[in-house]
Amino acid sequence: MPGLPAQVNRTRYLGSVQLRFSPRWPGRARPTHEAVAARRIAELTASRREIVAAYEIERRRIERDLHDGAQQRLVVGLMKLGEAQLSPAVTADPALAALLAEAKSAIAGGLESLRTTVRGIHPQVLTDLGLEAALTDAVDRVDRTGRTIRIVCPHPLPTMPEGVLAAAYFFALEAMTNALKHAPGAEITILLTVDKTLRVCVVDTGTGGAHLQPGRGLAGMRERLAAFGGELLLSSPPGGPTQVAAHLPLLLARGESGTGIDRVDSTGAMTGAEGQET
């Protein structure tokens, strides 16, 4: 500054440099508040995604344990009861035959209930054959009740992480269940489309007027979708139709945060999608 000694000017200059640089980021400018906030969002998103992924792994373990343990034992029990029903002692005793028939019916009902529970935890077909096949399997079970649901998937779906698949699958099931319950007799269509985003839309031709109830059903799916950068959209004007959609960006399936920051190194530096520090 004019009129001040050179040493004062130099001190003020060094002070301004100190404001912009910090030992935590040696040789680099201190990140802006926006960059720090974006880094924290990236870290939280990654952490939430890891929690959801761990949850899906545990669901699959429980599914396998039930399938290979309790379910198989019930199947063996049914076979043994079937053999017992064919024995001369049973065929000669109508009361005993009736008792065994009741026991077999009860075990068969328990087995079907267990199979339904296992499918609700994590259907094996979702892992083996993908989203479209898993939803087709679910729809086929509904068709037996007299309701018809269409699945429209114009193009083959790409390979996706299990967490994304599970989020999309259970969202579609929840939306389908709601449509069956609240729009009796309405036509229901599940539309699957994909580009950089997986879109799962469930549309019914009911009377509309639907809304999300906090903490229940579809509203509870929002958190699960958000873990993968996804969102839930609802359109239900009076008179219908009602459309519930989940949008899941597939780029996030490979670890991106959706904030423009993909990695945070040990010094706190943030690296974007092209590898430049941000």
pLDDT tens-digit map of 4-47? 454 444 444 444 444 444 455 555 556 677 777 777 767 766 66
Own/partner contacts of 73-81, CB < 8 Å, gap of 24 or more, are 74/107, 74/110, 74/111, 74/114, 75/111, 77/107, 78/104, 78/107, 78/108, 78/111, 81/107
* Distance from C-alpha of 223 to C-alpha of 232, rounded to nearest angstrom: 9
pLDDT band at residue 203 using 50, 70 and 90 as cut-offs: very high
Across 129-144, average pLDDT: 88
Domains of the chain plus CATH, in order, are 125-278 (3.30.565.10)
pLDDT band at residue 150 using 50, 70 and 90 as cut-offs: very high
What's the pLDDT score for residue 151? Answer: 96
Closest to 217 measured CA to CA, from 171, 276, 152, 184: 171
HSE-CB of 16 using CA atoms within 13 angstroms: 5
